[in-house]
Structure formats: C-alpha cells, structure tokens
Structure 1
Amino acid sequence: MPEMRFVIAWPDGREETCYSPSLVIRDYLAEGETYPLRDFLDRSRKALTIASDRVEAKYGYPCSLAQGQLARIEATAEHFLGHADPRIRCERFIL
C-alpha cells in the first residue's frame, strides 16, 4: 500500500509533516490550497479514516499510525479554535 507524507502549515505559521498510509489524502487536500480549520479537520478525518480502513481491509487491523496522526491533528487544531478565521495550508505532498 503506497504511503505518503503531507506538509501542512498551521495558522501560526508552524509547519508539520503528517503521515497517511494511503494516497487517498490527495483526494481531500491539494498542494498549495488553504482551508478553514473546520473544513480541514473534516477533510483530514475522512481521508485518514478511509486510509486506515484500507489498511484494515488488507491486513485485518486498522492503521494505528493514521489514527495517531488524526489525533495529533485534532489536538493541535484545538489550540486555534478560538482564533478568528483560522486556516490551514497544505504545503506539499511527499511520496
């Protein structure tokens, strides 16, 4: 199963390299695009859940790395929920 990483920029400008066990993330995020925080969270949840489900279908267990990545994204996002119009930018994909 092809895995990939994707680099995002949080509203404070800090970049983070994230992990997906599947290329499906490219169906939900685009390089160079900026997303409102809640939209980004929704897209990330969908993509990483699908990716984890694909691992489960192939290997019989969900992907703990995808689940952990989603948990880290959600935890970091909480810090920006009170900000006015927080946005996340998808900087690039790393194959």
Structure 2
Amino acid sequence: MKEITPKEVETLIQEGKKLNIIDVREVDEVAAGKIPGAVNIPLGTIESYMNELNKTTEYIMVCRSGGRSGRATLFLESEGYNVINMSGGMLAWEGDIE
C-alpha cells in the first residue's frame, strides 16, 4: 500500500497540484472540517461509488487517523484502482480546512 504524509499533501496543494482526495469519514465527522476540495465518500459506501471512480486517476484516501482510509486503500487497490493512503489522517493534518 502506497502512503503519503499530510505534509506532502499540503505541499502539493500549495504548489497548485490538482489532487483527487477522498475523505472516507462519516458525514458528521466531515462536517467539522475537511481538506479543501476533498470528496466525502464514507467507508461503508465506497463499494457503491466505485463505478464513479476512474482506475487511471490517482486518489488520496483520508480519514480521521489513517485506519479507515488504509482499509479503503487496500480494498480499492485490490480492485485495480490507483490509490494512496494519507498516513495519520486528519489528526495529523495541519493545513487549511473547509
């Protein structure tokens, strides 16, 4: 499983890179703040959204601490998707939130 640090994600955003970030936390958790531009797809619903994801697009998976996003990353990876887990999750995020 590929991983990226929150600091690396923040740097890429600051450099103006177009990132595809999927936040797998529950809706109420995301309401408290998420990485700008992140799309919320709760972990329990990820399988039903797979047909909306492109296998050639790189996705960065995010959750509160890195556990749920890790599970999502492993699952999507096993289905042939290009995914990276953000280690440490939102607990380690120091960048802007929306």
Query: Do they fold alike, i.e. is TM over 0.5?
Result: no
Tell me the TM-score normalized by structure 1.
0.31
Query: Hey, which of these two has a bigger chunk of helix by percent?
Result: 1
Tell me the TM-score normalized by structure 2.
0.31
Query: Hey, which of these two has a bigger chunk of strand by percent?
Result: 1
